[in-house]
A and B are shown apart, each in its own frame.
Chain A
Amino acid sequence: MTDLTRLTAAETAEKIASGEVTAVAVTEAHLARIEAVDEKVHAFLHVDREGALAQARRVDEKRASGEKLGPLAGVPLALKDIFTTKGIPTTVGSKILEGWIPPYDATVTRRLKEADIVILGKTNMDEFAMGSSTENSAYGPTGNPWDLTRIPGGSGGGSSAAIASYEAPLAIGTDTGGSIRQPAAVTGTVGVKPTYGGVSRYGMVAFSSSLDQGGPCARTVLDAALLHEAIAGHDPLDSTSIDAPVPSVVEAARNGDVKGMRVGVVKEFAGEGYQAGVMQRFDESVELLRELGAEVVEISCPSFDKALAAYYLIAPSECSSNLARFDAMRYGLRVGDDGTKSAEDVTALTREAGFGDEVKRRVILGTYALSSGYYDAYYGSAQKVRTLIKRDFERAFESVDVLISPTTPTTAFPIGERSDDPMAMYLADLCTIPTNMAGNAAMSLPCGLAPEDGLPVGLQIIAPAMADDRLYRVGAAVEAAFEARWGHPLLEEAPSL
């Protein structure tokens, strides 16, 4: 019998639609897989067994009554715990929201349900999506399915680990500085940060509102495209949602081709700090693109060197403002309210007890960057860097169709190695941050294993805003060529759990 957890989302949906398997059987297989391996992986913070089975039964009933099913009907999915889910706990990986049951669904949650996708549960993440390792979760770290002693990336490490360990074929992540792409890179999976405004942020707990973007995580480029199409599109409830047609990502993923395309290699993303095996696999990807008929040129984006510094002023500034809503008054944790303390004192005591170290560091850093006397030198300059980054991208996309780079400078590092060294941790997002600053689209997909440690390496593809389809066109071509070379998907080389 086929192992239902090994199928792609596209295959699963096809088998359900044709009646070869039921959605309930598919859901049960994934719940059993979670039961069997999640004690080790810890990808999930909450598994909604009853809700998932009820949704699966609805899909089977729909099919039985002859209703038309969507392209992902009955496919199980792991949802990052940053999206509100009516009646299901949403913690954002923080103690400050422990036990909170949202009274409403995020737009992404609603669209998943409308697409008849089965939400298995909520995945682990760095607290408030701040981190690159998932070690900042208040609920303990997640293991990388390739080596459980290593990080699965972050902040969406639960989502990447869930799909890499076959607990779900699909997951949703959010990407503020790389939190979809870096976890995808270090787990050998596919992750896409759509164009800013492409996927609604309504009901997605805010970290840095001008950078945050939800997007798909999957094991194949086509599956990511199918999920992208299910969640993207204008939403009147998000004033920064783009009111334009969603790029034809599924069509692009079905027609992978780079012949005649111009591909730019970002010159700045190499050199000191880049692992030799990562660069080796990246260089092979460049060669592969040439063999497939792309014209590859080197492109310089000089302001990218300052992107990380600017990001660590802008993101903390926005977060210090956004997280002010956690005041212990309307929802979430309240500490120290013994009848003698003022509301202000209760707020301060609650935030002290409810926030972890990284959140506190960033709130303080943002408060500093926005304070008078420092504002111009820090926040003001960071905004100028942001303009320069946008200009670098605009200039690059005048001469190339997409840019490429390694997704992250190293493979997955050991849990604990960087957890108390913030600057070392921040370097994991060196190559992913510029895309968030400019608001354009990017993908990470597997390009092999680093020879020195046998761990996955990610290839990043970057496209202009609203040209998300290019990611899928290039990604599908690269994926097909690599899999033909390897003889199988990269994930099949992962050790069994």
Chain B
Amino acid sequence: MPGITREEVAHLARLARLELKDEELDHFAGQLDDIIGAVARVSDVADEDVPPTSHPLPLTNVMRPDEVRPSLTPQEALSGAPAQEQQRFKVPQILGED
């Protein structure tokens, strides 16, 4: 059974936008390796001819009539914003300098 290495944890943390500290990487790598070792037993059923279940209910799209209804005011929608400007969410730079 493949385990998980410290390098893989670092890679996954980057994908998940978590700026982990070195000591966290050491700590989590061992724990995640244990957890993955324990949950890997699900793969016993990998070859069984069983359909997957993603949800307890048979889901279909639920639509509502396209009608105007009350909603948050711009002020309410922005009330939790870390920064705002001209009734918009103000965010750090998205594109690089060059």
Choice from A197, A240, A324, A376 contacting B46 with Cβ under 8 Å? A376
B68 sits at the interface (CB 8 A): no
Choice from B16, B35, B56, B92 contacting A320 with Cβ under 8 Å? B16
Q: CA separation between A368 and B37, bound complex, in Å? A: 13
Q: CA separation between A465 and B57, bound complex, in Å? A: 10
| Chain B residues with CB under 8 A of A368 | 4, 8, 12, 32, 36
A384 sits at the interface (CB 8 A): yes
- B47-76 interface with A by 8 A CB criterion: 48, 50-57, 59, 61-62, 64, 72, 76
| Chain A residues with CB under 8 A of B94 | 342-343
- A329-371 interface with B by 8 A CB criterion: 329-334, 337, 339, 341-349, 351-352, 355, 357, 360-361, 363-365, 367-368, 371
User: CB-CB contacts of B10-30 with A at 8 A, as 1s and 0s?
Assistant: 001111111111001001100
User: CB-CB contacts of A405-439 with B at 8 A, as 1s and 0s?
Assistant: 00000000000000000110000000000000111
Inter-subunit contact B41/A383 (CB<8 Å)? no
Smallest Cβ-Cβ distance to B54: which chain A residue: A383
Q: CA separation between A484 and B96, bound complex, in Å? A: 73
| Chain A residues with CB under 8 A of B35 | 312, 361, 365, 422-423
> Given contacts A103-B77, A371-B12, is CB(A381)–CB(B46) below 8 Å?
yes
Q: CA separation between A371 and B5, bound complex, in Å? A: 15
| Chain B residues with CB under 8 A of A334 | 82-83
- A105-145 interface with B by 8 A CB criterion: none
A328 sits at the interface (CB 8 A): yes
Smallest Cβ-Cβ distance to A211: which chain B residue: B56
Chain A residues bordering chain B, tally (CB within 8 A)? 70
B93 sits at the interface (CB 8 A): yes
A275 sits at the interface (CB 8 A): no
| Chain A residues with CB under 8 A of B54 | 210, 383, 386
A104 sits at the interface (CB 8 A): yes
Inter-subunit contact A327/B17 (CB<8 Å)? yes
Whole-angstrom distance between the Cβ of A395 and the nearest chain B Cβ: 14
| Chain B residues with CB under 8 A of A341 | 92
Smallest Cβ-Cβ distance to B29: which chain A residue: A364
Q: CA separation between A348 and B18, bound complex, in Å? A: 5
| Chain A residues with CB under 8 A of B39 | 309-310, 312-313, 378, 382
- B70-91 interface with A by 8 A CB criterion: 72, 76-77, 79-83, 89, 91
Inter-subunit contact A309/B38 (CB<8 Å)? yes
Q: CA separation between A210 and B55, bound complex, in Å? A: 5
Q: CA separation between A386 and B9, bound complex, in Å? A: 27
Inter-subunit contact B82/A332 (CB<8 Å)? yes
Smallest Cβ-Cβ distance to A318: which chain B residue: B54
Q: CA separation between A309 and B42, bound complex, in Å? A: 6
Smallest Cβ-Cβ distance to B44: which chain A residue: A306
| Chain A residues with CB under 8 A of B40 | 309, 377-378
Most buried by B among A312, A328, A384: A384
Most buried by A among B9, B43, B79, B96: B43
Across chains A and B, which 10 residue pairs bring their CB atoms closest together, nearest first?
A439-B56, A331-B80, A383-B52, A334-B82, A103-B76, A239-B62, A348-B19, A386-B53, A352-B19, A381-B42
Q: Measuring CB to CB, which residues of chain B are less than 8 angstroms from any residue of chain A? A: 4, 8-9, 12-21, 24, 27-28, 31-32, 34-36, 38-46, 48, 50-57, 59, 61-62, 64, 72, 76-77, 79-83, 89, 91-94, 96
